[in-house]
């Protein structure tokens, strides 16, 4: 994968113990309770981040253009992830699906 190492990391992770995924997980994101959780900026390889199971969008426009901007300027905006409920050595995307897809191309 081409691009700088800065494109492959710089994500925030919500400190949340692993557990079963429930529909309550989604409501936490919508109600804003997630915002009040402790977050820590971390460098996480993008291949350890899984997409959100709650993502309702199926098409993402201009991914190629965003990937090109990332190649030129680096990754300038963080993603929000949490520890994967079923795989403690992985992370699950909370928001930033378009940026994650572009980073994988960059």
What does DSSP say about strands 91-95 and 80-83: parallel, antiparallel, or unpaired? antiparallel
Rounded CA gap, 69 and 21, in Å? Answer: 34
The rounded distance, in Å, linking the Cα atoms of 45 and 29 is 23
State the pTM of this model. Answer: 0.60
The answer on pLDDT for 30 being more than 80 is no
pLDDT in tens, 51-86: 998 888 788 889 899 999 999 998 888 889 998 989
Per-residue CA distances from 64 to 5, 67, 68, 70 (Å): 18, 5, 6, 10
Domain boundaries, the chain: 5-105
pLDDT at 54: 86
Contact 106/7 with Cβ under 8 angstroms?
yes
């Amino acid at each position: 994968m081409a691009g700088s190492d800065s494109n492959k990391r710089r994500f925030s992770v919500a400190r949340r113990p692993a557990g079963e995924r429930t529909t309550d997980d989604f409501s936490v994101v919508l109600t804003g309770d997630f915002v009040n959780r402790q977050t820590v900026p971390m460098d996480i390889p993008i291949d350890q981040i899984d997409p959100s199971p709650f993502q309702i969008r199926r098409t993402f426009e201009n991914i190629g253009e965003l990937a090109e901007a990332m190649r030129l300027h680096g990754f300038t905006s963080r993603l929000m992830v949490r520890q994967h409920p079923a795989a403690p050595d992985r992370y699950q995307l909370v928001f930033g699906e378009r940026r994650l897809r572009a980073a994988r191309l960059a």
